Amino acid sequence: MKLLQQTIEKIEGLDQEMVVKARARVDSLIKPPKSLGKLEGLAIQLAGITGKLYPEIDQKAVIVMAGDHGVYEEGVTSNPQEVTFAQTLNFAKGLTGVCVIGKVTGAKIVAVDVGIKGEIPSDAGVIIKKIKNGTDNMAKGPAMTREEAIKSIEVGIEIAHEEINKGVNLLGTGEMGICNTTPSTAILSVLKNCDPLEITGRGAGLGTGGIEHKAAVIRKAIEINKPDCKDGIDVLAKIGGLEIGGMAGVMLAAAANRIPVVIDGYISTISALIAARIEPKAKEYFITSHASLEPGGKIASELLGIEPMLHMDMCLGEGSGAALAFPIIEAACSMMKNMPTFEDVGMEI
């Protein structure tokens, strides 16, 4: 809890003086007003985050948190749980979706075992920060203890700090965990105060009971555990996931270190909601990448209050959407640094 508390205490709002300067520069660039749309707002946000009129984004990393879920035993997915283990090894080999997309901008992919069922080999290229072998079955009791939930957040903080200390100045969040749309939807149901059936989707593959069964399992988990919607850690502990906590930690650490952090799709957005519930100011450092095809994705983004940049009908997870958004963020930086103002080129407006 000490690391989490120290991180929260370091989080401040954006540099408002730099925001004003950045807005003035954007408005004076050689283009019609607002003609570069969301790129302009992104450039201003980056200036406010970094405190620099010309933000530099030259070292990028997507931190992929991996963990399993006890609720798997309720038959909410058709995919074997062993896929979490196998796919996590593939991150280290550079074979997954986020890996090949990340290559476009030279992004580093950092795979972390925060709670996989089974033992990842120590030489596999995966960072081992295992808290437990998957969460407990939330349909029968809390997914984890409050202490374990805090520890999962602190794992994310630790890994983010390690990457920032290596020079990383743009972070992305990703995850791997078979059936993790189930705890994600449970969290959203609690925070939105809606029935699970309204927001439950297929995930990577439905179990034989279909949407109705998956929603019923989520409803049961909420009724049994009674998470406090005002306490993000309580919600995470009772109906969440270790990788969800890990990503929230990455986001909080990014905010504490004035580093922009790119949120991936549905599950990452749920982590962002948890992080923002823990410390609302952290949200100012979030950049949402894409609108997930999951039914709860749009609602989660609306609840977070940040509109995603991309609409690509993606729902892979892994941080794939975050990696896809990296070039847009670099373009915003290039606009600020390399595009002249009307005054620079001697034009009157």
Dist CA 232 CA 209 (whole Å): 30
**Does the annotation mark 302 as catalytic?**
no
On whether both 40 and 64 belong to a single domain, the answer is no
Dist CA 133 CA 140 (whole Å): 17
339 falls within a domain: no
Q: Which domain holds residue 25?
A: 2-55
CA 50 to chain CA centroid, nearest Å: 19
On whether both 268 and 120 belong to a single domain, the answer is yes
153 falls within a domain: yes
CA 71 to chain CA centroid, nearest Å: 22
Q: Which is nearest to 156 in space by CA: 110, 108, 101, 94?
A: 110
Q: Are 233 and 142 in contact (CB under 8 A)?
A: no
On whether both 50 and 87 belong to a single domain, the answer is no
348 falls within a domain: no
Question: Which residue's structure tokens are 């969800």?
Answer: 244
pLDDT of residue 203: 82
On whether both 33 and 120 belong to a single domain, the answer is no
Q: Which segments of the chain have a pLDDT < 50?
A: none
On whether both 72 and 48 belong to a single domain, the answer is no
Question: Which residue's structure tokens are 């798997």?
Answer: 72
pLDDT of residue 349: 64
Q: Identify the active-site residue in 154, 243, 294, 318.
A: 318
Q: Which is nearest to 173 in space by CA: 160, 186, 162, 185?
A: 160
The pair of structure tokens assigned to 283 is: 């949200």
The dihedral built from the CA positions of residue 28, 29, 35 and 41, taken in this order, carries a sign that is negative
Strand order across the beta sheet in which 60-67 lies? 127-128, 108-115, 60-67, 170-176, 261-263, 286-288
On whether both 321 and 213 belong to a single domain, the answer is yes
118 falls within a domain: yes
pLDDT of residue 204: 79
The pair of structure tokens assigned to 113 is: 């075992």
On whether both 170 and 35 belong to a single domain, the answer is no
pLDDT of residue 112: 98
Cβ-based neighbours of 146, under 8 Å, separated by 6 or more: 233, 234, 237
Domain count, the chain: 2
On whether both 98 and 126 belong to a single domain, the answer is yes
How does pLDDT run across 324-341, given as a tens digit for each residue? 999 999 999 999 999 999
pLDDT of residue 1: 78
On whether both 28 and 160 belong to a single domain, the answer is no
